[in-house]
């Protein structure tokens, strides 16, 4: 498969993944009337139609950027990139997925915090913060330059480490799941988790929604560890 076709396939995969996760959660939590959403919604205001439209359009544009970066990452790999069967042991495969999560969590924290620097914010990350009450459709709503920064780390990691495509695929679904969760607008975790010795390190919808409201603090993606260590955690 030539590079253009590969980029197109990866773009289609990103789009379908985004629509499935963002669309499904939006319908379940916001279009279908239910007591859970009303009881656990984080902000009282409903989503503005102009915000939903902007979030969707930016997210779709970033599907193209992600597809292009992924094509660069895997085009010349001497493997069948669509063979998702993992030949490594379950323990090794799980280890690589955990590695990707921890590496990405670290990369994302410092990249995200850097984009909040006054000299960077207005021409990159400001687009994402146009959503003060983000919906699930804001999951990939970034400025194009930020869209590149979000995934460019995959290029060196995919070339340095022998991670199978099946592990990358699972990781890809985890990413979009966590991203949509952060922009869900509804807190699905029990309040008791915030007091648990281990579960308190999970990032919640409230954590990231608070970041959109106040612009500073809660820069992490998967876990709150980096925020807690660096003094940027907002309770």
pLDDT in tens, 106-138: 999 999 999 999 999 999 999 999 999 999 999
Query: What is the rounded CA–CA span in Å between residue 174 and residue 53?
Result: 25
Task: Please determine, for residue 205, whether its predicted confidence score (pLDDT) is greater than 70.
Answer: yes
Length of the chain counted residue by residue: 235
pTM: 0.94
Q: What is the pLDDT of residue 78?
A: 54
Take residue 128 and report the two structure tokens written for it. 């994402």
Residue in 66, 223, 202, 217 with CA at minimum distance from that of residue 142: 66
pLDDT in tens, 144-191: 999 999 999 999 999 999 999 999 999 999 999 999 999 999 999 999
- What does the domain layout of the chain look like in residue ranges? 3-189
- Reduced to 3 states (helix: H, G, I; strand: E, B; else coil), residue 41 is strand
Residue in 187, 194, 153 with CA at minimum distance from that of residue 171: 153
Residue 173, C-beta contacts closer than 8 angstroms, at least 6 positions apart: 17
- CB atoms closer than 10 angstroms to residue 213: 15
Confidence of residue 18 (pLDDT cuts 50, 70, 90): very high
| Residues facing 186 on adjacent strands | 41
Q: What is the pLDDT of residue 121?
A: 94
Query: What is the rounded CA–CA span in Å between residue 142 and residue 68?
Result: 16
Q: What is the pLDDT of residue 84?
A: 79
Q: What is the pLDDT of residue 22?
A: 98
Contact 212, 134 (CB under 8 A): yes
Query: What is the rounded CA–CA span in Å between residue 99 and residue 192?
Result: 28
Rama region for 77: left / alpha / beta (φ>0; ψ in -120 to 50; rest):
beta
pLDDT in tens, 38-89: 999 999 999 999 999 999 999 999 999 999 999 999 988 755 677 778 888 8
Take residue 78 and report the two structure tokens written for it. 């001497």
Q: What angle do CA 74, 63, 95 make, to 5 degrees?
A: 50
Query: What is the rounded CA–CA span in Å between residue 186 and residue 188?
Result: 6
| Rg value, the chain, Cα | 18
Confidence of residue 21 (pLDDT cuts 50, 70, 90): very high
Take residue 81 and report the two structure tokens written for it. 């990139």
């Amino acid at each position: 498969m030539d590079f253009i076709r590969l980029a197109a396939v990866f773009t289609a995969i990103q789009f379908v993944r985004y629509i499935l996760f963002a669309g499904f959660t939006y319908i379940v939590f916001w279009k279908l009337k239910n007591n859970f959403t009303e009881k656990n919604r984080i902000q009282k205001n409903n989503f503005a139609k102009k915000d939903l439209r902007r979030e969707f359009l930016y997210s779709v544009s970033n599907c193209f950027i992600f597809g292009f970066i992924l094509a660069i990452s895997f085009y010349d790999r001497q493997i069948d990139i669509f063979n998702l069967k993992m030949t490594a042991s379950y323990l090794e495969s799980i280890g690589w997925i955990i590695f990707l999560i921890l590496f990405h969590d670290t990369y994302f924290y410092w990249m995200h915090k850097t984009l909040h620097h006054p000299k960077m914010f207005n021409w990159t990350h400001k687009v994402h913060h146009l959503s003060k009450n983000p919906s699930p459709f804001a999951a990939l709503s970034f400025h194009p330059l930020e869209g590149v920064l979000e995934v460019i780390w995959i290029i060196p990691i995919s070339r340095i480490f022998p991670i199978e495509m099946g592990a990358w695929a699972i990781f890809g679904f985890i990413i979009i799941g966590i991203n949509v969760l952060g922009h869900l607008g509804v807190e699905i975790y029990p309040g008791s988790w915030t007091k648990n010795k281990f579960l308190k390190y999970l990032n919640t919808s409230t954590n990231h929604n608070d970041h959109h409201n106040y612009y500073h603090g809660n820069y992490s993606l998967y876990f709150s560890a980096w925020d807690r260590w660096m003094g940027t955690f907002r309770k």
